[in-house]
Structure 1
Amino acid sequence: MTAIAWSPNSQQVAACDGAGNVQCLNRITQQTHSLQTGTGQSVDALAYSADGRFLAAGGQDGRVSIWEMSGDAPTLFTCLENPRTWVDQLAWHPRRPELVFSLGRYAQVWEVETQQVLTTLAFENSSVLDLAWHPQQDWLAVGGHQGVKIWQDWDQDPAIRELPGSSICVSWSPDGQYLASGNLDRTMVVWPSEEDVPWRMTGFPGKVRQIAWSADAESVDADPLLSAASGNCITTWHRLGSGWEAELLEEHTQAVNAIAFQPNTTLLVSAAADDFLCLWQGGGKLVQAQKSISGSALAWSPDGQTLALGGQQGEWQLWTQSARGQGFF
């Protein structure tokens, strides 16, 4: 599996794979729907709109397919054709039915209501490598070669956060106070949301492939945790004074492919090529390690009750908390 996405109400979960299949499970009816059968070309990006009405998918064939998900059965709403372009990044606006997706060196914003392109943004330095909407503001961060560009107004030049290498994953903290970038040059940087002088984290064994922020509902005023996956290691960073303190997590023996915090907690889950799924309390203390499948993608349901795990052979599983309350396996 290449990507997994949950509907905002946690009632539907969708997954896509490298063969071009897109599937959706309705957890209420227990029905599985095949939205797209294998085309032989990878589908790499998958996301539900903020209201849960639409599901968008993009991939190697350049199509952005959008399904209407609110009826008894999913129906294809529209398909945006982008020949000779690999659409491997897309994200819905957190409050409006607007979808941004990558088109080579450009990012395009498309509006559902008018079914029109709102704007096309030129990254210029390279292909767009990641996209992230600010959780509260109408800001869009776009990562690529030599940094991150932040658009706050489509008609104005973006703010530029420069890097010596390439930003391959970008993520805003849930409170919108920080922007993190995982980089190709084995570094991670974190900027305060409206400042251009970052903290710079080094010492990773390889490129920083994924980053994840926590959101702890029990500690509203606490700074979030920030975890990064690189090689077979995970590093969790805690805000300390004027800087950040690192904690290294070394249970996995092969490449960590996916990490995510359980919603509203500091419980971190990691999936790796070593076929183990691990749970880390407080982003650092190992509380469970379960032999599973060679995990390639994972996602928590928004209510935090279920974990969806996708494997490298196209299989996927749902894990729920055990009756003993000791874990999710």
Structure 2
Amino acid sequence: MKSSKVKPQEFNLHWRGTLSDYVTAIAWSPSGSTLVASSAAGEVMLWHSGELTTLQAGNGASVDCIAFSQDGQFLAAGGQDGKVKIWRDRTLIATLEHAPAWVDRLAWSPISNQLAFSLGRDVQVWDVDTGKITATLNFDTSSVLGLDWRSDGQYLAIAGYQGAKIWHSQDWNDDPYALIVPSASVAIAWSPDGKYLATGNLDRTITVLEWNNPHPWVMRGFPGKIRQLAWSEAKTQSGAPLLASSSVDGIVVWEQTDKSLSWEGRALTHHTEVIQAIAFQPGSFFLASAAEDGWVCLWHKAKRLAQTLAGAPDSGFSGLAWHPQGQQLAAGGQSGELLIWSKSLRGQGFVSTANASPAADALGSRE
């Protein structure tokens, strides 16, 4: 049988628009038919069928987090004014008032219409169907710095000072499981299969917990705090997904080895300014990164640079989001730019290519 060399994917600019201020968050609906973007001016904008429309006009109070519910029925937004707003079919159905708290983290349960959002040292869980708060979770040691649901909806992980706490959604009153870190966890992410929980920490380390195993791995050797984490849906031959992490202007991709079950890192270098977002294309090892240098980098198999995308030359990019089917990539800029690239049918004609560094100056070990 002849072997064929698979060409890396190419993405071309499909649409471009502008918000009035820094794009704080972007997200696709589960069907991929709609893209939502928010700004530091308080705007909430919807892109659908090639047109950008206003769901909420700017009011001077930044909207910092937005998300669609798992079935796409509801859209939630939170921000500087302490309000959590929920829309259904572009109609505002609820406004939860929490001023003077600043709501900068929120996430929907992947299996139900329960919304978790941060309020200082607490996380509240609100049920759309009943219109009631079902839980108030006290992190206690600090403000909430990150939160993420496990893919089966059974656990909610919350990050902050001294690590992470994990609550069971079937018994919110039960004591949470604690993943202790000697500094603060500023990023947190479950793997799509729910087997691993990773935290990016202020002391320049990553902690990876295998669920039901009390001995986590710790990765070291980074130049600064770990700002971003991303897991791949696809798995390697070892049966584990890849974990991408960013610190300052560099990326390290972690892969679990077959024999020792340790994690080995490889560095990806091209960005020259702080990386603001990283994300794997759904179902593949194709990795995207966006940085303040004004570039979105696309990494073939999370190993080498296949393409660079421009579009935020003034202040750089602030975030990115993959279409659920992976054929489009959206990114927001710090000067209000909103761009969507589409996958080319030709699969050729790259902007630039470069090789990743052969190995990362980092170690992953059990503790």
- Report the TM-score when normalising by structure 1: 0.95
Q: After superposition, where does 1:57-72 map in structure 2 within 5 Å?
A: 57-69=77-89
What displacement does 1:119 show?
0.8
User: Does structure 1 conserve the Cα–Cα contact (< 8 Å) formed by 2:62 and 2:79?
Assistant: yes
User: Does structure 2 conserve the Cα–Cα contact (< 8 Å) formed by 1:161 and 1:196?
Assistant: no
What displacement does 1:170 show?
0.6
User: Does structure 2 conserve the Cα–Cα contact (< 8 Å) formed by 1:14 and 1:25?
Assistant: yes
1:44-93 superposed Cα distances (whole Å, 9 cap, x missing partner): 11100000000000011100011113xxxx11111110010000000000
What displacement does 1:323 show?
3.3
* Selected match of 2:270 from 237, 251, 259: 251
User: Does structure 1 conserve the Cα–Cα contact (< 8 Å) formed by 2:311 and 2:337?
Assistant: no
Match of 2:91 in 1: 75
Q: Is 1:198 aligned with 2:216?
A: yes
Q: Name the stretch that deviates more: 275-284 or 145-154.
A: 275-284
Change (3 A) 1:328 1:17: farther
User: Does structure 2 conserve the Cα–Cα contact (< 8 Å) formed by 1:236 and 1:247?
Assistant: yes
Aligned equivalents of 2:83 and 2:237: distance in 1?
A: 40
Change (3 A) 1:207 1:322: same
* Selected match of 1:18 from 23, 40, 50: 40
Match of 2:71 in 1: 51
Aligned equivalents of 1:111 and 1:328: distance in 2?
A: 46
Aligned equivalents of 1:137 and 1:328: distance in 2?
A: 40
Match of 2:29 in 1: 7
Change (3 A) 1:136 1:76: same
* Selected match of 2:339 from 308, 312, 317: 317
Match of 2:17 in 1: none
1:146-181 superposed Cα distances (whole Å, 9 cap, x missing partner): 010000120200011101011111100011110000
Q: After superposition, where does 1:166-205 map in structure 2 within 5 Å?
A: 166-205=184-223
Q: Is 1:123 aligned with 2:143?
A: no
- Larger RCO: 1 or 2 (CA < 8 Å, sep 6+): 2
What displacement does 1:235 show?
0.5
SS in 2 for 1:216: strand
* Selected match of 1:282 from 298, 301, 325: 301
1:163-221 superposed Cα distances (whole Å, 9 cap, x missing partner): 1011111100011110000111111110001223211011111111110001127x697
Match of 1:88 in 2: 104
Aligned equivalents of 1:322 and 1:308: distance in 2?
A: 15
Gap regions ≥5 residues in structure 2:
1-22, 352-367
User: Does structure 2 conserve the Cα–Cα contact (< 8 Å) formed by 1:215 and 1:263?
Assistant: yes
SS in 2 for 1:20: coil
Aligned equivalents of 2:293 and 2:344: distance in 1?
A: 23
Q: Identity of aligned pairs, percent?
A: 48
What displacement does 1:328 show?
8.9
Aligned equivalents of 2:196 and 2:234: distance in 1?
A: 16
Match of 1:299 in 2: 321
User: Does structure 2 conserve the Cα–Cα contact (< 8 Å) formed by 1:321 and 1:328?
Assistant: no
1:248-302 superposed Cα distances (whole Å, 9 cap, x missing partner): 1111111111110000000000111111111111212111123332211100011
What displacement does 1:222 show?
2.9
Is the radius of gyration larger for structure 1 or structure 2? 2
SS in 2 for 1:254: coil
Q: How many residues align?
A: 322
User: Does structure 2 conserve the Cα–Cα contact (< 8 Å) formed by 1:275 and 1:295?
Assistant: yes
Q: Is 1:144 aligned with 2:164?
A: no
Change (3 A) 1:327 1:121: farther
SS in 2 for 1:10: coil
